[in-house]
Amino acid sequence: MIEIRNLTKIYDGTAAVDDVSLTVEKGQIAALVGTSGSGKTTLLRMINRLVEPTHGQVLIDGEDTQDIAPHLLRRRIGYAIQGHGLFPHHSVARNIGTVPKLLGWKPEAIRARVDELLELFQLDPAAFRDRMPQELSGGQQQRVGVARALAARPDLLLMDEPFGALDPVIRAKAQHDLRDIQRQLGTTLILVTHDMEEAVTLGDRIAVMDKGRLVQYAPPAEVLTAPATPFVRDLVGQAERPFRLLSLTPASAVARAGQADGAPIPRTASLRDALAECLWSGRDAVPVEGGGIVTLAALRAEAAPTARAAE
Amino acid sequence: MRLDRPGLLFALIGLAGLILPFAEFKPNRILAGEGATLAAALPLGVALLFALAAMFAMGVFRLPAILRLTAALAALLAVLLAIGAAARHLTPEGDTLARVSPASGFWLLLLALVLMLADAVARLRPGLMLRGLLLAGAVAAAWFLLASGALDQVSTLREYSVRREVFLREARAHLLLAFGSLGLALLVGLPIGMLLYGARRLRGPVLSVLNILQTIPSLALFGIMIPIFSWIAATVPGAAQAGVSGIGVFPALVALFLYSLLPVVSNTLTGLDGVSPSTRDAAMGLGLTRPQLLGWVLIPLALPVLLAAVRIVLVQNIGLAVIAGLIGGGGFGTFVFQGLNQTAMDLVLLGALPTIALTLVAGIAMDLVVEGTARRRQEA
Amino acid sequence: MTGRLLLAAALLFLLAFLASPHSFAGLFQPLIRPNQPAIYTQTPLWSLTLSHLTLVALAVSASTLVALILAVLVTRPAGREFLPLARTITAVGQTLPPVAVLALAVPVMGFGAGPTLVALFLYGLLPVFENALAGLTRQPAQVAEAARGMGLTARQRLWQVDLPLALPVILTGMRLTAVISLGTATIGSTVAARTLGEVIIAGLLSSNTAFVLQGGMVVGIIAILIHQTFQTLERMAARRIGLG
């Protein structure tokens, strides 16, 4: 569990981060969203003390980070950044093994861990172990960057716009894989992004930052349906709101008994996928794999919960 | 008050300078001399010593750069005037053979003050205009100091006064060598660079040849020119009448010209290559002919890089022209090598100091020009 | 490939010439006047070459070592105050002509190898320092950030990241220094250092073009070989860090 208490950073008299408090439960993903200059990256960098707070505390499982030497603290926390920051002069294996080596792991243990991670990220160890970073594609570099951050089995992983340099198709896949791996490992993850879509897709909770202040910290559905300030509402985007909301719920959750024509959609597909399918094929309902259907009426109700509450 | 680490370094060098002999008295220009400390070298020397010590001590603390700059300038002027005064003070009345030269203490003080000055200027981050004014001011002050006669009794200036005519002739020769070879290199190198810009396949071979030319030691290149020019003078009709000969200005001029070709050609290429393809395409799309493209677009955009080549060549050739003194090509090198032969250090300085001053002024001035044009490009 | 063959040929020619200069006398015969010797014999050429190279190697290693230490110091937090000064000194220092520096070292050091060594050392500091500074300060920001974020200490970052990444640029500095020193060392003969310049100067004094040419040739070939060797090393180092 990560507890951030009254964290503040002042640069030249201006607060880059202003009295922010929030808690991330173990195994959860918190997405920090905001425009550039909102202080989200500074907040993230104070957690592993790349930036020293002016005041306030960060507790990891109750332990104050100020009591740990910065470089030792950082070896316990995974850190992945935009454009990956791989060491260009080290092979993929050596890059991934950086922190285990710093921690004094045995060479064979490091080797085994590197192969394990490469497998996890769907990179064939035999083919990729000895490659140099510049011989990889952008998506592969990004995966190696995240693998490196996870190498020493950190309980906490910090990510700063990790998918920022990827093209949209690869990005969606990378987000999906990250979510799977995070669930599998049970790592607590704090992620900085300026992309609300990404925050909604990945975050268990979203923290919206504006001018250094935390303006809302809530589950995605709440941020979408009950934005705390006009700023949050603008960030969510009026036009996008219903679709984002639909993307939060899997089809299986609202499927009810019934009969519909056509090919079924997977149970894990989101309601947004179900809507797209309905519109594209001109149907009023689509079947869901394993039984049940999702109707346009049900989709309409899910997409506008505020309208429903007002009735 | 916070300590200033560079200031501490300057103070240590300055302190060493204050302790070591400030001036050296020699019965004549070749005999070994005997040193005199600042306190002993001139009347009121003790006062100057304490003033300088106080100035260095102040520099140890963090003070505004402008204050440090002023202090260093004042101290520099004082030290220069002091060496002139020491020379007058230590030379016995009517003794024309005795020489008073600056000694290790003077040079260290000079070093400490110049470093302090450089540090203060670097911290001030002056704009182009201010830097230009500083340079002009420094040149004017040096000129004034030399013309005032305050330093006339210092050994190197004594050497100057007995060979004023020769000095002026060699100065002209030196400038002719440096600027003449630069002009020739531009005349030949710019067209070669433009030619190579279009002919990619020729680039490798031509640049390799120019690279190899550059690795030949200057001494050898100058030497090899002598027989070549003797041969030209002997065989080409009219060449000898035109002043061409194995000894003299021509071999040196051509050697310097050859050294300058690489920077000019390679910078021309770099500059032209640096123009973005979209700019070039847009210009072609507007219907510019190839010469128009060069003249209106490519060369103006490449100008900062071309001027950078001029800077490299100018600084390099002012320095290398010293070697011409070894092969009878004239220039300040004549004094340097004469001095080395006679172990007369004052004479060496008479050649070396003007050379250094020239390269510094040329280098700084060209830096200003390059930066000025580069900035104008960015604004445009 | 042809380049490499030419270099190998140049090296073989150089070694053969130094081992037995008189076998090549025919080559220089057309350059001399009657009664002039075609080959310099005052001192064996190989011995002059050796002392020339020793002088250069000493100067280059000393300047590399000192320049690297200085560059590392001024890029650490403790030495940052010296950075603006260091930049100014290197910029100005490189405009000073090597010959003048050599001449100015004589009053301090006397004649012989001493002033040459000092001049070569001082002059050689600048290219290495300037390049090391560029290499150490122009690291990709993300790599530095990642290194810090993973918990490398300042010392580990220096040895494992900063210096390896700066290596190609540092090698470029060493190449510049080595080639300049090689040429400047010939001028050292004017202050009585034992270098190949002795042959050239002997040729100038006795109007013997053969001497001038053979001295210049040996230095020139060595310079080209050193230049190419360093360039190969630079390319290898650059490829290792993904810039090749």
- Band the pLDDT of A308: cuts 50, 70, 90: very low
CA distance C89 to chain A (A): 32
The verdict on A175 and A258 lying in the same domain is no
In a domain, C78, yes or no: yes
Q: What is the pLDDT of residues B111-128, one digit of tens each?
A: 999 999 888 888 888 888
Q: What is the pLDDT of residues C180-218, one digit of tens each?
A: 899 889 988 888 889 999 999 888 888 888 888 888 889
The verdict on A176 and A285 lying in the same domain is no
pLDDT at B140: 94
Q: Which domain holds residue C219?
A: 42-240
The verdict on A127 and A263 lying in the same domain is no
Q: In chain B, which among 123-142 make CB contacts under 8 A with chain C?
A: 123
Give the mutation candidate from C138, C139, C142, C150 for the A interface (greatest A CB count, under 10 A).
Answer: C150
Whether the pLDDT of residue B220 is over 60: the answer is yes
Number of domains in chain B: 2
Q: Which domain holds residue A281?
A: 243-310
Would the CB atoms of A74 and C150 count as touching at under 8 Å?
yes
CA distance C68 to chain B (A): 19
The verdict on B24 and B141 lying in the same domain is yes
The verdict on A27 and A116 lying in the same domain is yes
**Last residue of one domain, picked from the residues B142, B161, B180:** B161
HEC secondary structure over chain B: CCECHHHHHHHHHHHHHHHCCCEEEECCCCCCCEEECHHHHCCCHHHHHHHHHHHHHHHCECCCHHHHHHHHHHHHHHHHHHHHHHHHHHCCCCCCCCEEEECHHHHHHHHHHHHHHHHHHHHHCCCHHHHHHHHHHHHHHHHHHHHCCCCCCEHHHHHHHHCHHHHHHHHHHHHHHHHHHHHHHHHHHHHHHHHHHHCHHHHHHHHHHHHHHHHCCHHHHHHHHHHHHHHHHHHCCCCCCCCCCCCCHHHHHHHHHHHHHHHHHHHHHHHHHCCCHHHHHHHHHCCCCHHHHHHHHHHHHHHHHHHHHHHHHHHHHHHHHHHHHHHCCCCCHHHHHHHHHCCCHHHHHHHHHHHHHHHHHHHHHHHHHHHHHHHHHHHC
Q: In chain B, which among 306-335 make CB contacts under 8 A with chain C?
A: 315, 318-320, 322-323, 326-327, 333
The verdict on A173 and A264 lying in the same domain is no
Q: To 10 degrees, the CA torsion angle through B67, B70, B76, B81?
A: -130
pLDDT at B260: 92
- The answer to whether C242 contacts chain A (CB < 8 Å) is yes
Q: Which of C146, C152, C164 is opposite residue A89, by nearest beta carbon?
A: C164
In a domain, C93, yes or no: yes
pLDDT at A305: 65
The verdict on B372 and B245 lying in the same domain is yes
Physical contact, A and B (3 or more Cβ pairs within 8 A): no
CATH number (domain holding residue C65): 1.10.3720.10
The verdict on B76 and B50 lying in the same domain is yes
| Closest Cα in chain C to A78 | C150
Whether the pLDDT of residue B2 is over 80: the answer is no
- Band the pLDDT of B101: cuts 50, 70, 90: confident
The verdict on A173 and A280 lying in the same domain is no
Whether the pLDDT of residue C49 is over 90: the answer is yes
Question: Considering only A186-200, B231-245, C157-171, which range has the smallest mean pLDDT?
Answer: B231-245
Mean pLDDT of chain A: 87
CA distance B138 to chain C (A): 15
**Last residue of one domain, picked from the residues A212, A237, A262:** A237
The verdict on B218 and B305 lying in the same domain is yes
In a domain, C2, yes or no: no
In a domain, C1, yes or no: no
**Last residue of one domain, picked from the residues A237, A267, A298:** A237
CA distance B223 to chain C (A): 6
Question: Considering only A4-18, B39-53, B223-237, B318-332, which range has the smallest mean pLDDT?
Answer: B223-237
**Last residue of one domain, picked from the residues B118, B135, B161:** B161
Q: What is the pLDDT of residues B261-305, one digit of tens each?
A: 999 999 999 999 888 888 887 887 777 878 888 888 888 888 989
Q: Which domain holds residue B98?
A: 5-161
In a domain, C13, yes or no: no
**Last residue of one domain, picked from the residues B161, B183, B217:** B161
CA distance B227 to chain C (A): 7
The verdict on B146 and B186 lying in the same domain is no
The verdict on B170 and B235 lying in the same domain is yes
The verdict on B183 and B153 lying in the same domain is no
The verdict on A215 and A264 lying in the same domain is no
CATH number (domain holding residue B347): 1.10.3720.10
Would the CB atoms of A84 and C142 count as touching at under 8 Å?
yes
Number of domains in chain C: 1
The verdict on B15 and B148 lying in the same domain is yes
User: Residues B72-96: what's their mean pLDDT?
Assistant: 87
In a domain, C21, yes or no: no
Whether the pLDDT of residue A311 is over 70: the answer is no
Percent of chain A with pLDDT over 70: 98
The verdict on A53 and A96 lying in the same domain is yes
User: Residues B32-41: what's their mean pLDDT?
Assistant: 82
User: Residues A197-216: what's their mean pLDDT?
Assistant: 91
The verdict on B142 and B271 lying in the same domain is no
Instruction: Name the range with the highest mean pLDDT among A161-165, B89-93, B171-175, B205-209.
Output: B171-175
Q: What is the pLDDT of residues C67-125, one digit of tens each?
A: 999 999 998 888 888 888 888 888 788 788 888 888 888 877 778 888 889 888 988 88
Physical contact, C and B (3 or more Cβ pairs within 8 A): yes
User: Residues A141-148: what's their mean pLDDT?
Assistant: 91
Please report residues of A whose CB lies closer than 8 A to that of C77. none
Would the CB atoms of B356 and C103 count as touching at under 8 Å?
no
User: Residues B237-255: what's their mean pLDDT?
Assistant: 80
The verdict on B254 and B146 lying in the same domain is no
- The answer to whether B5 contacts chain C (CB < 8 Å) is yes
Whether the pLDDT of residue B329 is over 80: the answer is yes
Please report residues of C whose CB lies closer than 8 A to that of B356. 96-97, 100
CATH number (domain holding residue A296): 3.90.1280
Whether the pLDDT of residue B96 is over 80: the answer is no
Considering only residues A133 and A304, tell me which one the structure prediction assigns the higher pLDDT: A133
User: Residues B330-349: what's their mean pLDDT?
Assistant: 88
Whether the pLDDT of residue B199 is over 90: the answer is no
Number of domains in chain A: 2
The verdict on A35 and A157 lying in the same domain is yes
The verdict on B186 and B330 lying in the same domain is yes
Mean pLDDT of chain B: 87
The verdict on B242 and B332 lying in the same domain is yes
The verdict on A180 and A36 lying in the same domain is yes
In a domain, C132, yes or no: yes
User: Residues A167-181: what's their mean pLDDT?
Assistant: 86
The verdict on A113 and A232 lying in the same domain is yes
- The answer to whether C152 contacts chain A (CB < 8 Å) is yes
Please report residues of B whose CB lies closer than 8 A to that of C108. 104
**Last residue of one domain, picked from the residues A203, A237, A271:** A237
In a domain, C100, yes or no: yes
Would the CB atoms of C242 and A89 count as touching at under 8 Å?
yes
Whether the pLDDT of residue B321 is over 90: the answer is yes
The verdict on A285 and A160 lying in the same domain is no
CA distance B45 to chain C (A): 25
Please report residues of C whose CB lies closer than 8 A to that of A76. 151
